Structure 1
Amino acid sequence: MLSTVMPIGRGAGIAACLLSLSLLGGCEEKGAQGQGDAAQGASADAEEAPLYRQWHTVTLNFAGPETSEQAEDNPFLNYRLDVRFTRDEEEYRVRGYYAADGQAAATGAEQGNVWQVKFNPPAPGRWHYHAELVRGDQIAITPDAQGKPVPLEKPRGQFEAKASDGDGQGFHSLGRLSVKDSYFYFPETKQYWLKGGANGPENFLAYAGFDGTYRIATEKREGEASVDTHLHQYEAHRQDWREGDPTLRGGKGKALFGAINYLADKGMNALYFLTLNIDGDGRDVWPYADPDVFTRFDVSKLAQWEQLFEYMQGRGILLHMVTQETENERLLDDGDVGPMRKLYYLELIARFSHHPALVWNLGEENGYAEWAPPAQDDAQRRAMVEFFERHDPYQHPVLLHTHAEINTRQPVLELLLGVPGLDGLSLQADKREHAADVVTKWKRRSREAGHEWLVTMDEIGMWHTGADIDENDPGHISLRGDVLWGTLLSGAAGVEWYFGAKVPHNDLNSEDWRQRDQLWSLTKHALDFFQAHLPWWEMQPCHDQVSQEGAYCLGKEGEVYALYFPHDTRAFAVDLGGIDANLDVFWYNPEKGGELLTGTAPAVQAEGKITLGQPPSRPGADWVVLLRETN
């Protein structure tokens, strides 16, 4: 990312560390104690400047014009708040937003005179900010228009950012997630990263405790998961909430935050969710005050989403933010990046882009489907990519979710190969046994086009089953072989588990992630192995070097290899060609995880096809083998 990023933005003025953020460790004690002084304007005196931590959220409130969500002079469309943050030669321009009374998450307010911006300082030191609020007809979506200046109280100020030393929680100690070498990467801390987590429920934000949240009644369509009349409660996870964890207004939300605790405690680090499913599956998630009016946003609902997102980041959960789905990809501006889509994206960027680990997903199952309305075209997809590339001040990864089958997936993806700004694919595949091949194909095709994609295996078929509950699929044998290990050893940057449409706890009505407790453990074992033992970003798939059906290989020639062998493997063998190396042989249990083990052949001489001996236990079970150059 460039050190100077200048998309349009809003916000500036009065430094304030919100209570919810201080509970999460976002502010140093000095900053929290100085909140009253900050609310009157940041002092120019270095001794009085509020103190925050690098990569943590800084929230600035500004007193501006009194207005409301439903004001005739629309505060979302006819005002634009830009805040310029500078440190030495570094500059960010960040969009702010209308925040009602500045505490809408707690008060439910729809009116007030507070305009707000959020910023995560990427570097330690003294940061200065300057906010400008302008007014004009549709000026929010016309970034080059000058507009009429609107006064703000104390639009200039400064604060100090303390260098992170790894003392934060979750992603606040790692920096901002990016993409490098077609994998996730934290450039500030120089760490590659793999994701593993939940792809459902996709309407995760349809939670009963959020303001303005309800379900639009329609008949269920063929091929859609069943959904009852009730919004999500997540009561099964109330037990996972702990004293001191946040709640929503009125003490609500314990089960919601408990659900995040459960997922994080299981070692999962990603969650896929829709921010707009009007006309789609569920029809219960949108950012608007009214689902029929696309220019008015629900300030308190979005502030409550922010409470949740901040907590997820603190617990190390990636925000996989899916901005539309196949049924509604032409809902806004008939699919164009026109006024309504621009406003929608800009509000998401203004309110949530400060989070360090966030992925913009341009659309679930994007493209033609015979059971869906007309799809967006290639020009419209490219316009979405370009919009995020231009307007996201932090340049978060941008992905596109695919259809499951080659005849609907390939026509879309072939036209997008080499497009700058599209970082990769959120992949759906219908057949488990083909998942690794699909990952390998699009990694190769994109590399040949000059811009190799990051590919994550996010939705495995078949559509009706996906990843079933533990009770119905003990051990998840095919999922852990062909999908989990198969795709990771094919160059995938992570896996998320889709719950299926026709199973208990499906992708719309699931309330209890414990129903797949074993699946999360299996996923964690794979992530642990990769993180501890492999430079996976330097390795390439080498499946043709293992002849066993259902076996997979990832290797760095002559140095390190990871191989998965399925159940009932009789001869554990690999053909390493003409290399000359001594390799130590270690065995890893993909079902139970744990330490590396030694089998009957502790080391081998790599010359052509070699046998690796037998595993130390579990005859007939699947195994992962690590071959590592002998020191």
Structure 2
Amino acid sequence: MLFGLTVFQRDQQISPSIIFNAKTSPPLVYKQWHTITLSFKGPETSELDADNPFLNYRLSVDFKHEKTKYAVRGFYAADGNASETGANKGNIWKVRFTPDHLGTWSYTAVLHHQDSIALEKDFTKGTPVEISNKTGEFIVKGSDKEAPDFRANGRLVASEGYYKFQGTEKFWIKGGTNSPENLLGYVDFDDTYRMQASNREGEASTNNEIHQYTAHLKDWKLGDPSWKNGKGKSLIGAINYLASKGVNSSYFLTMNILGDGKDVWPYVNPDDFSRFDISKLEQWEILFQHMQAKGILLHLVVQETENETMLDHGNTGAMRQLYFRELIARFGHHLALNWNLGEENGPASWSPVGQNDRQRKDMSKFLKENDPYNHPVLLHTHSHDPLRSKILDSILGFKHLDGLSLQQDKRELAPEVVKTWREKAKKTGHDWLITMDEIGLWHTAALPDSEDPNHDTLRRYALWGTLLSGAAGVEWYFGAKHPHNDLNSEDWRERDRLWELTNHATTFFRNHLPFWEMMPEHSLINTPRAYCLRKKGEVYAIYLPELEKPTINLKNVEGVFDITWYNPLKGGALQKGSKGRIQGGHISELGAPVSIKGTSSQQDWVCLVKKTEN
């Protein structure tokens, strides 16, 4: 009997070890877009073995289907159950694969041994090591999941400046949380602690305590995952809460050594970059699986501005390659994930030693060439020009970079910044996916609801303003000098209203707009600081900060257009207005929503102008 296949279905609390003889048993049946984990018995070793298993072994698995094939790296898994046992030794090796086609698949696995073989691109090099069940077949049938679970629709890729489900015409728009950036600095992850407290200018203050998220214990539900006899419930509960509010992405660091929090790293210890903490990473994986099941994209940020030259002096050398390969092998199978090259990448006055243009391009190229799933690669920017443009102008058009994770200090300028960089990218022939991920001055960003109940300027400029200027989504950064900040926030309910407002916007985009076919043209509207996204002659989405006889210029289009209204404060159904229809070929008044009576004349509204189907 051979050690066989394991399918992880943590959201259903199923993690069976299925033992079978590959030569006599029929192929196992799995589902499209569900991760399959193959486990192999190989050489006995450990995290700290003199013959480093992370560096001197390489597990590579070829998956083949009549329509496609994948070459996927595997990883050392200790006893195969390290998330529960905390084991750091054993003879189990694994690979994770997410099939995209229905029908019959085959696989062939090879474990090679040689000094630094993990860094070798040539899969034929090294000495083969005997492993169990190194060949086999399985059958893939249709998924049984429903959205927002990503297994209902498949893998997100970058397309036409937006997120798109691979192989479909379904586009996706983001509305998420950017904080706390040290999400993974959590007490229930093995060997997780803060190296030192900090009260440095330019960041949130910390003490020796790491995240517990106790406020979200009540959000954990029976049947949800946990580990080690009930650990992890508060963070899993937090994911449940965020998903219930329509949040669909989360930004977090996988390494903040030398950075602000100093409490997140994938290594056995923060001084040795060649050995990885297996049980910790397996516990991260349980969290990530739950996030994907709840429809939350993994916005995985690989470094901070303070540590971007820590590995290989900023080059994509041995230690950075090993780090990236390990992240790809363990987590690249997830359907909704983007790689972020690093927070505030590039030198600045507060961090003068930073990566240069070549080093950024090398990182991006390495991730694109070694990630078999083509996840989007984004660059997190500095907060203003000319510092930002000095870096971005040199990487515009680079084919291995899919876009920007934008930071902008002055929120009223955010829409124009998005529009400008989308236009610059289009001119190169390589469109950029741009998400508005960090808004506001570092000390004051998205405040708690208690300080900013309706988040008026965020709603106007950073939410509706950027989305209607071509942004592919938003995330909210919590700032550093207010309660519940970017490093110490424990309770996402402190911004409950902000999640509601964000969900109102993303719901409108999903339900009413072919946003991926639309372009910003704010000048069509006479109201100052109004924003307009349009598909010429077909549909116009207009954000009006106030209702003072707004007009739209439809001189250059023909046809009859229906007018409806959407309340960005309350969401809900489209509403009728004082004018039901207007004729193309003119500048026309838009009127006002019928329900404006009883509301403030200063309230913002969204107007939808759509060509009539009659």
TM-score normalised to structure 2 length: 0.97
Q: 2:341 corresponds to which residue?
A: 362
1:599 to partner: Cα distance: 1.5
The residue identity in structure 1 corresponding to 2:216 is: H
5 Å matches for 1:14-29? 14-18=4-8, 20=10, 23=13
Taking the aligned partners of 1:124 and 1:189, their CA distance within structure 2 comes to 15
Conserved 8 A contact 2:579-2:590: yes
Q: 2:240 corresponds to which residue?
A: 261
Taking the aligned partners of 2:404 and 2:184, their CA distance within structure 1 comes to 23
Conserved 8 A contact 2:406-2:436: yes
1:434-471 Cα deviation digits (max 9, x unpaired): 00000000000010011010100000012111100011
Q: What is the count of residue pairs matched by the alignment?
A: 607
Q: Tell me if 1:243 matches 2:222.
A: yes
The residue identity in structure 2 corresponding to 1:152 is: I
Q: Tell me if 1:82 matches 2:60.
A: yes
Conserved 8 A contact 1:366-1:400: yes
Partner SS state of residue 179, structure 2: coil
5 Å matches for 1:384-395? 384-395=363-374
Q: Tell me if 1:42 matches 2:32.
A: no
Partner SS state of residue 579, structure 2: coil
5 Å matches for 1:594-609? 594-609=572-587
Structure-2 change in CA distance of 1:257 and 1:43 (3 Å): farther
Conserved 8 A contact 1:69-1:111: yes
* Sequence identity (%): 53
Q: Tell me if 1:67 matches 2:82.
A: no
Which deviates the most, 139-148 or 117-126? 139-148
1:378-417 Cα deviation digits (max 9, x unpaired): 1101101110111001010110000001121101110111
Q: 1:4 corresponds to which residue?
A: none
Taking the aligned partners of 2:147 and 2:65, their CA distance within structure 1 comes to 22
1:228 to partner: Cα distance: 2.7
Conserved 8 A contact 2:11-2:224: no
The residue identity in structure 2 corresponding to 1:119 is: F
Taking the aligned partners of 1:595 and 1:310, their CA distance within structure 2 comes to 33
Taking the aligned partners of 1:571 and 1:167, their CA distance within structure 2 comes to 43
Taking the aligned partners of 2:544 and 2:255, their CA distance within structure 1 comes to 41
The residue identity in structure 1 corresponding to 2:607 is: V
Taking the aligned partners of 2:144 and 2:217, their CA distance within structure 1 comes to 33
Partner SS state of residue 222, structure 2: coil
Which deviates the most, 165-174 or 92-101? 165-174
Taking the aligned partners of 1:413 and 1:473, their CA distance within structure 2 comes to 33
Structure-2 change in CA distance of 1:622 and 1:168 (3 Å): closer
Q: Tell me if 1:99 matches 2:89.
A: no
Structure-2 change in CA distance of 1:592 and 1:167 (3 Å): closer
1:146 to 108, 121, 125: 125
Coordinate RMSD, CA, aligned: 1.5
Q: 1:281 corresponds to which residue?
A: 260
1:580 to partner: Cα distance: 2.3
The residue identity in structure 2 corresponding to 1:410 is: S
Which deviates the most, 160-169 or 279-288? 160-169
Q: 2:603 corresponds to which residue?
A: 621
5 Å matches for 1:456-467? 456-467=435-446
1:190-224 Cα deviation digits (max 9, x unpaired): 31000101000000000000001000115421110
The residue identity in structure 2 corresponding to 1:17 is: V
Partner SS state of residue 435, structure 1: helix
Conserved 8 A contact 1:481-1:550: no
1:166 to partner: Cα distance: 4.8
1:566-604 Cα deviation digits (max 9, x unpaired): 14x322222223322211110100000001001211111
Q: 2:283 corresponds to which residue?
A: 304
Structure-2 change in CA distance of 1:13 and 1:156 (3 Å): farther
Q: Tell me if 1:509 matches 2:499.
A: no
The residue identity in structure 2 corresponding to 1:122 is: D
2:403 to 394, 400, 424: 424
Q: 1:491 corresponds to which residue?
A: 470
Taking the aligned partners of 2:451 and 2:272, their CA distance within structure 1 comes to 43
The residue identity in structure 1 corresponding to 2:332 is: S
Q: 1:178 corresponds to which residue?
A: 157
Which deviates the most, 494-503 or 542-551? 542-551
Taking the aligned partners of 2:445 and 2:529, their CA distance within structure 1 comes to 19
Taking the aligned partners of 2:8 and 2:493, their CA distance within structure 1 comes to 32
5 Å matches for 1:335-414? 335-414=314-393
Taking the aligned partners of 1:22 and 1:552, their CA distance within structure 2 comes to 44
Partner SS state of residue 604, structure 1: strand
1:137 to 115, 125, 128: 115
1:44 to partner: Cα distance: 5.2
Conserved 8 A contact 1:14-1:157: no
Conserved 8 A contact 2:345-2:380: yes
1:511 to partner: Cα distance: 0.5
Q: 2:523 corresponds to which residue?
A: 544
Q: 1:434 corresponds to which residue?
A: 413
1:23 to partner: Cα distance: 2.9
Partner SS state of residue 349, structure 1: helix
Taking the aligned partners of 2:487 and 2:450, their CA distance within structure 1 comes to 19
Conserved 8 A contact 2:12-2:223: no
1:517 to partner: Cα distance: 0.4
Taking the aligned partners of 1:190 and 1:139, their CA distance within structure 2 comes to 40
Q: 2:96 corresponds to which residue?
A: 118
Partner SS state of residue 249, structure 1: coil
Structure-2 change in CA distance of 1:219 and 1:238 (3 Å): closer
Partner SS state of residue 543, structure 2: strand
The residue identity in structure 1 corresponding to 2:246 is: G
Q: Tell me if 1:200 matches 2:179.
A: yes
Conserved 8 A contact 1:485-1:564: yes
Taking the aligned partners of 2:448 and 2:395, their CA distance within structure 1 comes to 35
Q: 2:455 corresponds to which residue?
A: 476
Taking the aligned partners of 1:248 and 1:592, their CA distance within structure 2 comes to 39
Conserved 8 A contact 1:76-1:296: yes
Taking the aligned partners of 2:95 and 2:11, their CA distance within structure 1 comes to 14
Taking the aligned partners of 1:556 and 1:192, their CA distance within structure 2 comes to 16
Taking the aligned partners of 1:376 and 1:71, their CA distance within structure 2 comes to 33
Taking the aligned partners of 2:11 and 2:414, their CA distance within structure 1 comes to 40
Taking the aligned partners of 1:504 and 1:310, their CA distance within structure 2 comes to 30
Which deviates the most, 479-488 or 545-554? 545-554
Conserved 8 A contact 1:541-1:554: yes
1:314-365 Cα deviation digits (max 9, x unpaired): 0100000000111111010000000000000000000000001100111110
Q: 2:134 corresponds to which residue?
A: 155
Gaps of 5+ in 1: 1-11
Structure-2 change in CA distance of 1:98 and 1:563 (3 Å): same
Partner SS state of residue 606, structure 2: strand
1:167 to partner: Cα distance: 4.8
